[in-house]
Amino acid sequence: MMRSRPLKVALLGCGVVGSEVTRIMTTHAEDLAQRVGAPVELVGIAVRRPDRVREGVPAELITTDATALVKRGDIDVAVEVIGGIEPARTLITTAFEHGASVVSANKALLAQDGAALHAAAEQHGVDLYYEAAVAGAIPLVRPLRESLAGDKVNRVLGIVNGTTNFILDRMDSSGAGYSEALDEATALGYAEADPTADVEGFDAAAKAAILAGIAFHTRVRLDDVYREGMTEVTASDFASAKEMGCTIKLLAICERAADGQSVTARVHPAMIPLSHPLASVREAYNAVFVEAEAAGQLMFYGPGAGGSPTASAVLGDLVAVCRNKLAESTGPGESAYTRLPVSPMGDVVTRYHISLDVADKPGVLAQVATVFAEHGVSIDTVRQQGKDGEASLVVVTHRAADAALSATVEALRKLETVRGVASIMRVEGE
């Protein structure tokens, strides 16, 4: 039997995602009511610029006083799609204090203050859901938090930023340079006017922190995630990757150590074999590859951003939270019982592709090989090309610790026969 009294929803923010949430709640109100078991009523929309034209958004619901909206006392769920740290953090905690559950798409805030927000939600007996914060429409948070709750996840490897994947895909498929591919992404609306958060890996790092915390049942903050952007990736890097049967992706990688006593979380460009499922992820799509002890290998794929995909994830959480409200219960909260430390990047073990500019004369290869051996880094393959006294030397290592590889590179720079280190790239997915 459906309850007649509606569940009341406050929407905080009404940009691209918020407008789409409003549209879906309005046009699919009857379906949402049937799925929840009660009508779901949007009772207020907090915005900063009330005069802005928002097609399909009821003007009578617009308010600039977000604090008053979440303090009403009759709000069942607050949907936060403002982004950033403040005022989102204060509004969310205020909503908790006044008995409202929260659905958020705020990856930056969750990566920075997720533990405190979870604690506040638990204190007030309400829910905090955030499927939309990680990979748009792709169901990922709930499968990790619920479907795989009885399993042991060992690795999460993914493309979690559509802008960077579009740029790298264009560089790979058309031979475009970074700047040219970025201009195309901007023209198509995939890149912001200031693309720093995407291309420098900040967006992906926030998502990696959230994923690692859920997957490994421990607390991982944004500051724990090693981050490299992809602005230095060149056409020659793609040429080298193709020679190895690889392509290049900006990857978020969360791993449990082999001994199970620590975890790592990192974001950086990497070569990945064309045989790996992530290599075929094109355009602005996202995909996440999960490796679990019992379930094996799972891949989640789809649009990771945009108004409609993100709104889909928000509405999925809204339905779940509303059902919990009707049942007078809450869903799963933070699970951080393992308390595993996050190891520094220096402890991470992987393969490396190093391109060196060297003098074209006898003995150079022997000198370089000696430096690798002295630092305990084993060489898998070497390729050398030379002309007119100059040469390039491409070294692919076996798996080595990042700290050992860094020390090796510093020693190589001191050799008189090494003119420079053209590029260093990790090789993942093997």
The catalytic residues are: 207
* Close Cβ partners of 396 (under 8 Å, ≥ 6 residues apart): 244, 351, 352, 353, 354, 379, 380, 381, 382, 427
Q: CA dist 39 to 57, 61, 130, Å?
A: 19, 17, 22
Taking a C-beta distance cutoff of 8 angstroms, is the pair 267, 227 a contact? yes
Q: Report how far residue 82's alpha carbon sits from residue 73's, in angstroms, rounded to the nearest whole number.
A: 21
CA 160 to chain centre: 4
Q: Which two tokens stand for residue 44?
A: 């207020």
Residues in the chain: 430
| Residue in 305, 351, 198, 206 with CA at minimum distance from that of residue 265 | 206
Taking a C-beta distance cutoff of 8 angstroms, is the pair 206, 212 a contact? no
| Residue in 382, 389, 430 with CA at minimum distance from that of residue 274 | 430
SS3 state at 229: coil
How many helices (H) does the chain have, and how many strands (E)? 15, 17
Q: Report how far residue 381's alpha carbon sits from residue 104's, in angstroms, rounded to the nearest whole number.
A: 48
Q: Report how far residue 205's alpha carbon sits from residue 269's, in angstroms, rounded to the nearest whole number.
A: 12
Taking a C-beta distance cutoff of 8 angstroms, is the pair 302, 309 a contact? yes
